[in-house]
Structures are given as C-alpha cells and as structure tokens.
Amino acid sequence: MEAAKESVIEASNLTKKYGEGETEVTALRNVSLEVKRGEVVLIMGPSGSGKTTLLSILGALLKPSSGSVSLGGEDIAVLSESELPDVRLNHLGFIFQDFNLLSALTARENVEVVLNLAGVKGAEARKRAEAFLTDLGLGERLDFRPEKLSGGEKQRVAIARALANEPDILLCDEPTANLDSKIGHDIIRRLQQIAKNQRKSVVIVSHDARIKEHADRVLWLEDGEFKQMAVMEHDPVCEMSIEREKAAASVTYKDKTYYFCSKGCAGEFQENPEKFIAGEGAHAV
Amino acid sequence: MTVSIAWKNLFEGRARFLMSVGGVALAILLILVLDGVFAGAMKQLTFYMDKTPYDITLAQEGVGNLHMTSSFFPASKAGAVKKVRGVKGVDSIFYNSDYLVIGENRSLAYVIGYQPGKLGGPWEMAEGSADLKPGEIIVDERIADKYDLKIGDRLTVLGRSFKVGGLAKGTVNITNSIAFVRYDDFERARGLRGVVSYSLVTVKRGENPRDVIGRIKDEVKGINVMTREEFADNEKRLVSDMAGDVIKMMNLVGFLIGLAVLGLTAYTATLSKVREYGILKAIGAKNRKLIGVVFKQAIISVVGGFVIAVALAFAVAFGLGAAQAGVSLVIGPPSLLKVILGAGLITILASSIPILRIAGLNPAEVFRR
C-alpha cells in the first residue's frame, strides 16, 4: 500500500499566461495536482479550459509562468531547454489523439526509434520493440507502416512507443477521440492495466465521459482551475467503477471503506468479504 | 545500428527524392561538362605544341602565343640561334589564321607553313603523306569528312587554291582546325621574304633548354625566346582569360540550379515532416539529432546526384572520344574537386533554412490539432 501512495509527479500552484497586456490570457490559475504511482487520473473540462496547457506543462513541453512541477523530486519547470529532452525521453511517455506515429517507419521502427534516442541500439532495441508490440497484440503487425494499421492498432503502437523507455508516467491527450467506442474502450482498458500491472501513472485528458469508470480520480478543469473532483471507486463485487460521492452503499471492513454500485452488491460483500478482497488493494481508499 | 529516419523519409517520398537527386545531378553535370569541355578545349588548343617534338620557341619580340596574333621576325635571327651552343636544330614555320574556303563553306583554321621533312608539320596522318608537294594542303580528317573533301579536291586559303594532299588526325579543336601547307607556298602566297613566324628549336642531348634559352637571349637580341611549355601555357592563359568569365558564369548558373533544386526539395521535405519532427522533439529527440536527420537527407541527395553526374559525365566523355567529335570532355581532379566543394556548399546552404525551422520548432505543437 505504501507504493500506491508514492507521488510520481506533483504540480504546485501552476499558472500559465499567454500574451501580455490587453491580449494576456490566463490558461491556468494556481493549479495543483499530485499523481501517485499506479494511479489513473482523468482530467475533463470544456474546450479552452486549459487541459492541453496543463498536459504540456506536466510533459515538460511548456514552461509555466509560475509554480513548480516535481518529477522524481526534481523541479522540471526550472530546467533549461537543453535538459528537458532527456526528461521527456526517460521519464515521460506521450499518447496523442492523432497517434502521431512517424509515417515512414514501420510499427517496430516507431518504437525502436525511441529506444535508439535513449541509447539502446541494434538487436537489443529491435528485440525490445518487438516485445512491447507483441505484448500489445501487434506481433503480426511489426513490419506494417502506420498507413496499413487500423486506428486501434496505431494507438497501441503509440502506447508501445510511450512505454519503450520505461517512463514513470504516461500523458495521454484524448487517446480515444479518433477511435470507435469499442476500440476506445480497449485502449483505455489497456492503459488501466498498464497502470495497475506495471505501476505506471497515467494522466488522461479527454472529453470522453466513458473513461471515467476506468479512472481512479476524475478532475474537472474549467477556466484554468479545478472546479470539482470525483474520486472513482471500484465495486469489489461487480467490479464496476463508480464515483465515490454517488455510491449506492459503503461498507467498512478491516479499517477500509468499500463502495458499491447497489445495495445488492453491498449485501453480497457483507456475506463473505474475504471472497471479494483477496488480492485486492489498489482500488481501495 | 539505429533506425535511419533520414533514409526512411527520403524513400517514403520517392518522387521528391528522385527530383532532388536528379536536380543536383543535373547541376553537377552542367558544371562538370562545362569544365570538361573547357579543359578539353584547352588540351586541344595546345596539341600543336604538345605533339611537336621540340624544346624552345622563337617568336617575334613581344609575342608569346599563337591565338589572335601574328608573329614575324627576321630569318637571320633564326640562323643566328642555330650557332648558339647547345642548339641542335632550328626549324622555322609560317603561321596565320585564315578561313578554308570549301565551295560555299568556310572553316576557320590555323594555317601553318612548314618544310616537309622538318619539324612543324602534322604529327599523325589519317590518309596521304605529310611530305607535301607544291600547291598541296593537309587538312584534318574531320574537316574533310564534314565538308566531303577527298584527297585531290581543291580549296582556297591564303588567297590561293590548294589541292588536298593529305588528311591529318587530331588537329581539330573547339574553335578551329590546323591546316598545313608547304613553307615556300605560304611564303609566296603572303609575299614574304626574309622573315619567319616562329622557329622550333631542339637542343642537344644533355642540354637543359633553360640554359640554352639563357645563351640565346645573351647572343640573339630582338626575339622572344621561351620553352615549348611556356608557349603552350601562354596560349592556354590567353584563351582561358577570354572565356574565363563565361565559364565562371555558367558554373555559377549550375551551382544556383543545384542550390535551388536541393534547397527547395530539402525545404518541402522538411515542411512536409515538420509535425513529425515536433513529435520526435516531444518524445525526447534533441535538436542536434533532428538537424542531423535534415543534413543527412541533404547529403544523401547530393552524394546521389554527384555519383550520377560524374558517371554521366564520364559516359559523355567516353562517347565523345569514341565518336571522335570536335569537342572533347576532360574531367580531371581540379574539376572533380571543384564540384565536390560546390556540392558541399550546396548541402550546407540548402539545409540551413530547414535546419533553422527545425531548431525553432516548439514541441508543444504536437498537441495542436
């Protein structure tokens, strides 16, 4: 449980202003956010609310006007431009709405190139790229260029690329926006598995409300500020994701509180709690 | 071994790559051919000096070459040179530029009046004999071929009619040919008496021509004395000075074509991939890596173009040689060095704008849709 509480990235009082004088626009106002290891955080909000700005700052692609971003104990907001590529390469993984694969490279090469940038070369890079892609079900698509892949396959290649250098955190910008609901669900489920099984933190910016059920936390960003926060819980009986505030019932067992989608699930849990919590722990609050 | 983004990008846009390589090849070929033609012309220009086995040239004082000049000095001076220590022989010639009038056609020629059996005549015959009879002329076989001249046909030069007595080989250059008449025919045709145009001096075995020149200068005044090589160099320098600006201009045109083609294709290739460069930056590629990709693409295009251009230039040179054309293409180390330097400069200049674009690319752009 201690590992689950380890903070991977912590943004404090982030403010970002664009322009100056009469044309000044404040995209973020004193935003703070802490993401723990293995946590899936969903940031939602209307267009222009500052989601992409926040993601860019967390991804060391943009510097805040004020505030700090601590990644592995280091404030990346004060690093020089020449130091940031290494941070992005070794600690952050990016997943984009448009997949953003390199069109001239095959699926394997798209992953391999990130390994090459990190100094892993030759057969080792090739082997690791193949392993990542095979894990994501793309073992038969290694030598296909992006134009020959479906949307879901492209996004899985992008996930493999994001994971290639074993980053601490995955930053996902509308990862399901260009996918149909089934494929989108599959992608989110994979991201959730990565968070839980590989202990990666996942920050998702999305308009897609269906992602909520896979997130540990949902944050609502509007006018550059977090307006409300929804903590997501997993019903240990039916395994459905539910917002803690909207849970139909809750039960405290062995000093932990469990939340349920219905009173039926709560009753079933109370009959034999151990049956449902064996091996569980990550989702409990 | 790493994934080569440069190669992959180039081969993804094959049409653009081929256009780029083709454009560079065309530009380099233009430079090489111009240089080659010029070098070939220079070589042909001095064939007479290069092929005639003598050591020292005597000319009128102040005259140091053949082209666009005339030289006459007293024959007695040539006679005096014969007596200078170290001189083996002195063979004098007449020289004038004139048109060979062949029916309705006119062909520019250096007309040489030489004494059969002595130095100054044709060095290789294609047909007939170099031992001319009075009233006969030797023209180049290619001139004969061009104007359908055969041995025994007549043409007019130096204001007189001559019968074709032989056909020489290798006397045509880019501007004219060399025609040979007897020394006494030339003398009569021009009404000359007691003068010669040039004298071709040979030195005795073991003598250094430079030492002999020193003695001639001491003992015989009023003539210009130079080695055969100096005479040839003067000829080259004069023509080079005359054509140099044109050649430089054409080289500049070739350079600018190459620069424009490669610059444009490098820029459009970079522009079409600018989002991908942004992605690479976002995922951790440093500027120097991306600049390396752009530069490598330009280098590949230029090297490809260079190899094609050099291969084509050598093929053209071989073809011209095989066809025994009047134009010869000589591609030597100076020309190759020049195009290598030019190609290097094209690579650097053509890459610079795309490189600046990449260096200034904001990686946060990747989130813009």
Question: Mind spelling out the 3-state secondary structure of chain B?
Answer: CCCCHHHHHHHHCHHHHHHHHHHHHHHHHHHHHHHHHHHHHHHHHCHHHHHCCCCEEEEECCCCCCCCCCCCEEHHHHHHHHCCCCEEEEEEEEEEEEEEEECCEEEEEEEEEECCCCCCCCCCEEEECCCCCCCEEEEEHHHHHHCCCCCCCEEEECCEEEEEEEEECCCCCCCCEEEEEEHHHHHHHHCCCCEECEEEEEECCCCCHHHHHHHHHHHCCCEEEEEHHHHHHHHHHHHHHHHHHHHHHHHHHHHHHHHHHHHHHHHHHHHHCHHHHHHHHHCCCCHHHHHHHHHHHHHHHHHHHHHHHHHHHHHHHHHHHHCCCCCCCCCCHHHHHHHHHHHHHHHHHHHHHHHHHHHCCCHHHHHCC
pLDDT at res. A2: 42
* Residues B97, B7 share a domain: no
* Residues B125, B191 share a domain: yes
Burial tier of A30 (Cβ tally within 10 Å: 0-12, 13-18, 19+): middle
Q: How confident is the model at residue A282 (pLDDT cuts 50, 70, 90)?
A: very low
B92 falls within a domain: yes
* CB-defined contacts A:B, below 8 A: 79
pLDDT at res. B1: 63
Contacts of residue B283 in chain A, CB cutoff 8 Å?
88-89, 94, 114, 117, 161
Token pair for A211: 């992602």
B141 falls within a domain: yes
* Residues B298, B197 share a domain: no
- Which of B221, B252, B285 is at the close of a domain? B221
Q: How confident is the model at residue B9 (pLDDT cuts 50, 70, 90)?
A: confident
Binary contact (A104, B5; C-beta < 8 A): yes
Contacts of residue B277 in chain A, CB cutoff 8 Å?
none
Q: How confident is the model at residue A1 (pLDDT cuts 50, 70, 90)?
A: very low
Residue-wise pLDDT tens digits, B88-122: 999 999 999 999 999 999 999 999 999 999 999 99
Q: Is A130 on the interface with B (CB under 8 A)?
A: no
Phi first, then psi, for residue A8 (nearest 5°) are -95, -45
Binary contact (A117, B283; C-beta < 8 A): yes
* Residues B12, B107 share a domain: no
* Residues B206, B80 share a domain: yes
Binary contact (A105, B8; C-beta < 8 A): yes
Answer whether residue B261 shows pLDDT above 70.
yes
**Distance (Å, whole) CA B353 – CA A104:** 22
Q: Is A94 on the interface with B (CB under 8 A)?
A: yes
Residue-wise pLDDT tens digits, B40-76: 878 888 889 999 999 999 999 999 998 888 899 999 9
* Residues B164, B71 share a domain: yes
Q: Which of these, B110, B62, B115, lies nearest to B89 by C-alpha position?
A: B115
**Distance (Å, whole) CA B24 – CA A68:** 51
B128 falls within a domain: yes
Which residue type, as a one-letter code, is found at position B191? G
Label each residue of chain A as H, E or C. CHHHHCEEEEEEEEEEEECCHHHCEEEEEEEEEEEECCCEEEEECCCCCCHHHHHHHHCCCCCCCEEEEEECCEEHHHCCCCCHHHHHHHHEEEECCCCCCCCCCCHHHHHHHHHHHCCCCHHHHHHHHHHHHHHCCCCCCCCCCHHHCCHHHHHHHHHHHHHCCCCCEEEEECCCCCCCHHHHHHHHHHHHHHHHHHCCEEEEECCCHHHHHHCCEEEEEECCEEEEEEEEEECCCCCCEEEHHHCCEEEEECCEEEEECCHHHHHHHHHCHHHHHCCCCCCCC
Nearest CB neighbour to B3, from listed A96, A113, A118 = A113
Residue-wise pLDDT tens digits, B310-339: 999 999 888 887 776 667 788 888 888 888
Answer whether residue A230 shows pLDDT above 80.
no
Quote the percentage of chain A above a pLDDT of 90.
60
Average pLDDT, chain A: 89
* Residues B38, B66 share a domain: no
B55 falls within a domain: no
Q: Which residue has the tokens 């000589």?
A: B330
* Residues B244, B183 share a domain: no
The average pLDDT across B191-211 equals: 95
- Which of B221, B253, B287 is at the close of a domain? B221
pLDDT at res. A284: 31
pLDDT at res. A283: 38
pLDDT at res. A65: 94
* Residues B214, B66 share a domain: yes
How far is B280 from chain A, CA to nearest CA, in Å?
Answer: 8
How far is A259 from chain B, CA to nearest CA, in Å?
Answer: 36
Q: Which of A74-83, A101-110, A176-185 has the lowest mean pLDDT?
A: A176-185
pLDDT at res. A259: 92
CB-side neighbour CA atoms (13 Å) of A225: 5
* Residues B74, B33 share a domain: no
Residue-wise pLDDT tens digits, B148-178: 999 999 999 999 999 999 999 989 887 789 9
Average pLDDT, chain B: 89
The average pLDDT across A218-234 equals: 82
Q: What is the ipTM of this complex?
A: 0.79
- Comparing A239 with B304, which gets the higher pLDDT? B304
Contacts of residue A113 in chain B, CB cutoff 8 Å?
2-3, 5, 280
Answer whether residue B297 shows pLDDT above 70.
yes
Answer whether residue A3 shows pLDDT above 80.
no
How far is A105 from chain B, CA to nearest CA, in Å?
Answer: 7
B290 falls within a domain: yes
Residue of A nearest to B364 (CA): A61
- Which of B193, B221, B249 is at the close of a domain? B221
* Residues B207, B70 share a domain: yes
Residue B338 domain boundaries: 2-45+238-368
- Comparing A111 with B366, which gets the higher pLDDT? A111
Answer whether residue B183 shows pLDDT above 50.
yes
Binary contact (B284, A56; C-beta < 8 A): no
Residue of A nearest to B276 (CA): A102
Residue-wise pLDDT tens digits, A64-91: 999 999 998 899 999 998 899 999 999 9
* Residues B321, B349 share a domain: yes
Token pair for B82: 């014969």
B228 falls within a domain: no
B75: CB partners within 8 A, 6+ apart? B92, B194, B195, B196
The average pLDDT across B254-261 equals: 80
Number of domains in chain B: 2
Token pair for B154: 């007549």
Q: How confident is the model at residue A281 (pLDDT cuts 50, 70, 90)?
A: very low
Residue of B nearest to A89 (CA): B284
B272 falls within a domain: yes
pLDDT at res. A4: 46
pTM of the model: 0.70
Quote the percentage of chain B above a pLDDT of 70.
98
A193: CB partners within 8 A, 6+ apart? none
B227 falls within a domain: no
How far is B20 from chain A, CA to nearest CA, in Å?
Answer: 18
Nearest CB neighbour to B367, from listed A56, A82, A121 = A56
Answer whether residue A49 shows pLDDT above 80.
yes
Binary contact (B283, A103; C-beta < 8 A): no
The average pLDDT across B192-201 equals: 94
| End-to-end CA, chain A | 10
